[in-house]
Structure 1
Amino acid sequence: MSLLTKNGLSLKTQVYGLIVAISFISFFIRIITDVDTTRNYLQTQMASHAQDTATSLGLSISPYLEEDSIMIAQTMATAIFDSGYYNHIKFTDAQSNIVFELANPKRVESVPDWFIAMCKLNAPTMQSEINNGWLMAGVLEVTSHTGQSYLTLWQHTKRSLYGSFLLLMASLAIAFLILRAVFKPLKAVEDQAKLVTRKRFTLNNEIPVARELRTVTKAINNMVINLQSTFDSLTKQTQALTEEVYIDQLTGFGNRKSFENHFNSVVGSISEDTPITAMMLTLPSLANINQTVSYQDGDEHVLDAAATLKTLVTDLSNTRVFRLNGSTFIILAPYDTLFLNKARLELTDAFGQKENSLHINGFSNLALIQVNNGSSMGDVLSSLDTGCTIGEGTNVNKIDKDTLLSVNQWRALIKSIINSGEVSFSVQPVKRANSNDKQCYFEVFAHFTHEGEKVNNGHLFAMAEKLNLTEELDKKIIRNFVNVKEQHPDDIFALNISKASLYSTDFIQWLTLYAQTKAVLKNNLLFELHEISLLYNVHVASLHIDAIKEIGINVCIEHFGTSLTSFRYLQGLDVEYVKIDGSYIQDLITNTQSQFFIQTVNNICHGFGIKVITCLIEKPETLKILENLGCDGLQGNLIMPPSKIIKLNDESENKKFTFCSDAIKFCN
């Protein structure tokens, strides 16, 4: 019933239901009327037949009423009575004495008792006075037998029922064919409207014959054309701006401006749990190749190095690569230097194998540095440049190698966390624009503890992705968070879902089944998906997003804009929110290009019915600009920093949680 209330009843179903209801009502009324008419006819026929028989039999027996010939009269009456049409024949003399009487209590066995009870027939009794000469000799009474009439009525009812039913089925079949032809274009209009609500703009080429449907179809087609045109125009503008300002034309990586924005967006949030490591790669032989061979060969040299770096980034989630200038690349990774030692070893080996006679100064120089909270970009780049120049950090000593965990050790650690590790949560509200404490939702951050020690989420999920264990980590987060969600069913929460889970059919099936047992997951829940993960295979991601939406879970694309690619992939994705990457927020006050970018994202997304969220808001001036640009949701330490969800008790079946006082004001 709730699904019917939510989705409504289709016009097709209503019309079919109405026609079927009217047809069956007409069918039963026709049967009832026909049976009643036949019953009245048979009732009248029995009375007429009895009267005719009484009159004719009276005339026939009138000459034989003397005492010596009365047996002849009785024999004549018996001959008529034996036909079975009469229930009772009685002759009484003038003194009311019964001269003879015949009775037939026999009933028709082939007629059901329930039919006899429903269609009651009354046996009529008709009289005829018999005269002997000029004197009245007596009265002859004839009562009809209802058995034959019941049999006739029963047989007629069956014939009428069969005929009416066949006529009903034929009428319904014809009506179905006619309505199907009428509703076919309406179904096409409905499908087109559904696709529009899911951000998929398609034209309906089947123009209906019906004038009303033709008008609606043309109107929707025009709307789709206009939306598509607006989307294409805005997408081209944004893509042109992105390519001009933020993308290195040769490699497709972010350029120096993109690096500056990203660095400024993360340097203030560095902590022990969220470290950042910067890695610089220089190509010292690039100038020699350009001068002695050709600039085209120099570009090939750069692209070769870029391809190797791209492979590295694939294995390290949320890692960004930038090209600062002709021969310098820089990598920002959300891991500490110890964790990146293996990646540094792999890069050193890979570039060492590529070295040849053209590389008179070596193929590459590599330096690594841990970025501290609040570090200036100039100091970080200076340290990295020094490291590349003097070769510091390019060799990995024995201590580094000994401190690296093996793959088997990581596998054992992750499985132990999945089986018995503790999960705690913190939340940060996403505030609705132009409101004081109205939430769009709470973003949820999970924290793992193993044997009493916190585990770095970045390291944990990076290794889990290599070992194909991220799905199990996501399942553990969801199972543990259900306890919190059940106590706050009216508040909207957003959980981050990994790339592996997004593309896993098994995970989608598990989630669907688990939501059947935990109905609280079907309401007021979002999944945040990283844009880079989404772009891995947009078609498959779209199908799985549809499956997630079917459960009742909405979707948000986070770090929107980090891919530096066209926004065209948004068309066809049924998402509720996009969250613009923080790199576009930090210099928003002075950077008109970032303002234009955010304004364009708002125009594109609002045209699709997608809400836009911005994060990492630290200044009141930034907040005001974003609200003026039309953003729907705002998130950052200015509004409220992440706060822990407090566990009030540890009872396994009755866990209770609450928020800190600052977060409670955002609760619904």
Structure 2
Amino acid sequence: MTLYKQILAFVIFLFAGLLIIAYAVQFQSTRDYLAEQQRVSVINTANSVGIALTPYLETGDKVGAESIINAAFDGGYYQEIHLDLLASKQTIEKTNKKEIEGVPGWFIQLNLFKSETYESILTSGWLQLGKLQVKGHPGDAYFQFWRTMSNLFWSYIACFIVVSVLVVTALHFLLRPLNLIRRQAVEIEKHHFNKSIPLPKTLELREVVQSINTLTVKLAKQFKEEAVAADLLRERAFRDAVSGLGNRAYFIGQINAWIAEHGTGGIMLVAVDALDEIYRIEGYGARDQMVRQIANALQTKLAYLDSAAIARISATEYAVLLPGLTSEDLLETAHILNDAIAELIVNPLETDSAFSVIGIAVRNEDEDLSALLTKADSALRRARSERLGAVTIEHAEKADTLGRLAWKDIILEALEHDQFDFRVQPVTMLTGEKALPSELFTGIRHQGQRFSAAQFMAAVEMFKLGEKLDRYVLEHAVFVLSANPGMSLSVNLTIGSISSLSFLNYLNDFFIKNHGLSRRIAIEIPENAIFHQREAVKSLSEICKHFNVMWGIDQFGRHFQSLEYLTELSPVYVKVDQGYMSIISKDENAQSVLAAVCRTAHNAGVITVVTRVENEQQMEIINQLFVDAYQGIVHPAREI
């Protein structure tokens, strides 16, 4: 129970106790007063009636005596007046048998008042004339007592309510700084350092708030410094300082991760030999400026492909990974890139020698890194030998059978006829953090062959089918969760869905409809979405938080933007990009970078998960880093 509730309960119970005691005292004193009033009234009536009756009794006037008794009976509230005439042996009696009105029966049954009785002997000298008995009626006492105590009861209730409201208001105001301190402590525990607490007027709390605000600022600064340090370390290890693109180590990591997923598509080697000419004529500054312009051109032209990876691998060469593209798409893209580079170089130098050449290698099934790079080098050599600005391609041994339109038809047919194939892979926890849901992988069954998401996601992005696909996968996830009560799943969303207002509205309605599954389903988004669709990601995170749905970031650390967004968006977990794990066993720098990236996430209160863990050697490495969980082929995906 909170301090506020404890103080409130204590004050309310104390005040209620005081009211009960006051009511009990008033109850008893009022009861005694009314009882005494009834007793005195009976005695006075008996004495006054006795004096009035004596003259009539001396003369034996029964009628006169009876009129006196009637007058007395009618003028008061008595249960019985009884007169025995001793001389004539006669009796005069008046009785009131009416029920008590205006008082509940249960109250009368409490027997709070008894009927007071008083007897007196009427005499004349030494002669006894009669015996008078007056018995009071408790009805009037009950009526007055009930009315008085009822009014007092409701007055106390009204007083209790008013005082309770005032106490609640006062405590809420007085303890507001303490509540803010509690909230700030919770935020600090979650590694959120965005707000400071207003200084309260209470001296004791003011000093505490000042200390907490100072601590918050220091922790925020420390987190920012660690994030910047991680960014710098990552850039030194995997980023080319001049172009701002990835370097050879970054590119190798991305290719290894792509190959491990059995991805389709190809790689390009772009040679811009004119850079040597620019260096020879104009020097380092002009060459470096052109290097940056070429890098910007490559990024701009390939921005529509979220899965593309671009790197500068030597002074004059660039490498591009293009997952999911066919030979036709690769050739078309290469010509677009060549034209973009020519516009940058030819015009400034006004010479025909300023052309780039591109060699393309289309990945063959089960082709490893060495074979793929060899094939790309061969294609680049042929491009150089043929002519300036040439584009050559080394095809896969098995020719491409599916073009972009064919992929579109396959995806639409799979959506219409439920031809998707689903598998789940668990997330294994290394620490005491709460368990994370298994990841749902999507594939397509077509003509007896299974295609993984890595093979058709490029077509999904190209034809803007992400929203349709994500809606289908979410509905299927509900079906799987309903059939497996002990299971929880994470679903990956495409950038096209995240940026769609209609999909966000659908997602809101989806969680309302399936509120019982909100704690068993998680949403994952690619890190690239944060940099291109920041506001849409914020809206998505608000929806997830509103419905208590877990959400996380996939491909974490893949891009070179700052990791400070973690404190702003506050995801529950991040999954580190697979490129790190593909080179971690051979590159100590990669281990240091992975440790820094994971530590940054860990310090932001985010659960860190490494992916594509393949062997025990990698397991030993990640156990020494700031890693909370892992997933990979050591615990392979299974069909559902």
TM class by shorter chain equals 0.7 to 0.9
Query: Identity over the aligned pairs, expressed in percent?
Result: 24
The partner residue of 1:89 within 62, 71, 81 is: 81
Alignment of 1:235 with 2:227, yes or no, is yes
Question: Which is worse superposed, 61-70 or 43-52?
Answer: 61-70
Aligned to 1:163, the other structure's residue is in SS state helix
Shift of 1:501: 3.9
Alignment of 1:185 with 2:173, yes or no, is no
Alignment of 1:126 with 2:118, yes or no, is yes
CA distance in 2: counterparts of 1:108 and 1:433, whole angstroms = 80
Q: Which structure 2 residues correspond to residues 175-574 of structure 1 after superposition, within 5 A?
A: 175-202=167-194, 204-208=196-200, 217=209, 220-221=212-213, 223-267=215-259, 269=260, 271=262, 274-290=263-279, 298-299=287-288, 301-338=290-327, 340-341=329-330, 343-344=333-334, 346-347=336-337, 356=347, 358=350, 360-361=352-353, 363-372=355-364, 373-376=367-370, 378-389=373-384, 390=386, 393=391, 404-405=403-404, 414-433=411-430, 442-449=438-445, 454-455=450-451, 457-458=453-454, 460-503=456-499, 506-508=502-504, 510-518=506-514, 521-538=517-534, 540-542=536-538, 544-574=540-570
The 3 A distance-change label for structure 1 pair 538 and 186 is: farther
Q: Deviations over 1:157-201 (max 9, x none)?
A: 343234323432342243233212221111211221232243311
CA distance in 1: counterparts of 2:88 and 2:415, whole angstroms = 107
Shift of 1:297: 5.4
Q: Deviations over 1:356-414 (max 9, x none)?
A: 47352355433322134213164144134225423654699xxx9997545xx877664
Contact 2:404 2:459 in 1 (8 A): no
CA distance in 1: counterparts of 2:392 and 2:217, whole angstroms = 56
Aligned to 1:251, the other structure's residue is in SS state coil
Contact 2:237 2:593 in 1 (8 A): no
Normalized against structure 2, the TM-score is what? 0.84
Q: Aligned pair count?
A: 627
Q: Deviations over 1:193-226 (max 9, x none)?
A: 2322433114644345668756764664465345
Q: Deviations over 1:583-603 (max 9, x none)?
A: 223333442222222232343
Contact 1:321 1:330 in 2 (8 A): yes
Aligned to 1:325, the other structure's residue is in SS state coil
Cross-structure match for 1:579: 575
Contact 1:285 1:358 in 2 (8 A): no
Give the residue type in structure 2 aligned to 1:641: P
Question: Which is worse superposed, 375-384 or 106-115?
Answer: 106-115
Alignment of 1:103 with 2:95, yes or no, is yes
Alignment of 1:601 with 2:597, yes or no, is yes
Shift of 1:53: 1.0
Contact 1:189 1:204 in 2 (8 A): no
Shift of 1:91: 1.1
Contact 2:240 2:246 in 1 (8 A): yes
Shift of 1:54: 0.8
Give the residue type in structure 2 aligned to 1:330: A
Q: Deviations over 1:510-557 (max 9, x none)?
A: 445444554563335443332222333446534533532443433333
CA distance in 2: counterparts of 1:472 and 1:198, whole angstroms = 35
Give the residue type in structure 2 aligned to 1:579: K
Structure 1: where are the runs of 5+ without partners? Answer: 1-8, 646-668
Contact 1:421 1:448 in 2 (8 A): no
Aligned to 2:120, the other structure's residue is in SS state strand
Aligned to 1:523, the other structure's residue is in SS state helix
Cross-structure match for 2:623: 627
CA distance in 2: counterparts of 1:230 and 1:50, whole angstroms = 90
Give the residue type in structure 1 aligned to 2:128: M
The 3 A distance-change label for structure 1 pair 428 and 110 is: closer
The 3 A distance-change label for structure 1 pair 587 and 353 is: closer
Cross-structure match for 2:71: 79
Give the residue type in structure 2 aligned to 1:427: V
The partner residue of 1:617 within 613, 619, 623 is: 613
The partner residue of 1:636 within 632, 637, 640 is: 632
Cross-structure match for 1:5: none
Cross-structure match for 1:139: 131
Aligned to 2:582, the other structure's residue is in SS state coil
The partner residue of 1:49 within 30, 41, 49 is: 41
Shift of 1:315: 1.3
Give the residue type in structure 1 aligned to 2:179: K
Shift of 1:72: 2.7
The 3 A distance-change label for structure 1 pair 532 and 113 is: same
Question: Which is worse superposed, 179-188 or 71-80?
Answer: 71-80
Structure 2: where are the runs of 5+ without partners? Answer: none
The 3 A distance-change label for structure 1 pair 349 and 509 is: same
Q: Deviations over 1:245-298 (max 9, x none)?
A: 32223432112232233223433x153xx2141123333544445556676555
Aligned to 1:623, the other structure's residue is in SS state helix
Q: Aligned Cα RMSD in Å?
A: 3.9
Contact 1:88 1:143 in 2 (8 A): yes
Give the residue type in structure 1 aligned to 2:635: M
Give the residue type in structure 2 aligned to 1:386: R
Cross-structure match for 2:4: 12
Give the residue type in structure 2 aligned to 1:430: V
Cross-structure match for 2:148: 156
The 3 A distance-change label for structure 1 pair 611 and 403 is: closer
Q: Deviations over 1:68-120 (max 9, x none)?
A: 43333332333332224323322112389553222344567555656556685
Shift of 1:50: 0.9
Contact 1:585 1:616 in 2 (8 A): yes
The 3 A distance-change label for structure 1 pair 79 and 216 is: same
CA distance in 2: counterparts of 1:263 and 1:411, whole angstroms = 25
Contact 1:501 1:507 in 2 (8 A): yes
Contact 2:237 2:590 in 1 (8 A): no
Aligned to 1:252, the other structure's residue is in SS state coil
Give the residue type in structure 2 aligned to 1:244: R
Q: Deviations over 1:605-654 (max 9, x none)?
A: 333333332233334333222212343323333x2333333xxxxxxxxx
Give the residue type in structure 2 aligned to 1:470: G
Shift of 1:577: 2.8
Q: Deviations over 1:554-594 (max 9, x none)?
A: 33333222112322222234333333223223333442222
Aligned to 1:139, the other structure's residue is in SS state strand
The 3 A distance-change label for structure 1 pair 118 and 370 is: farther
Shift of 1:352: 6.6
Give the residue type in structure 2 aligned to 1:428: Q
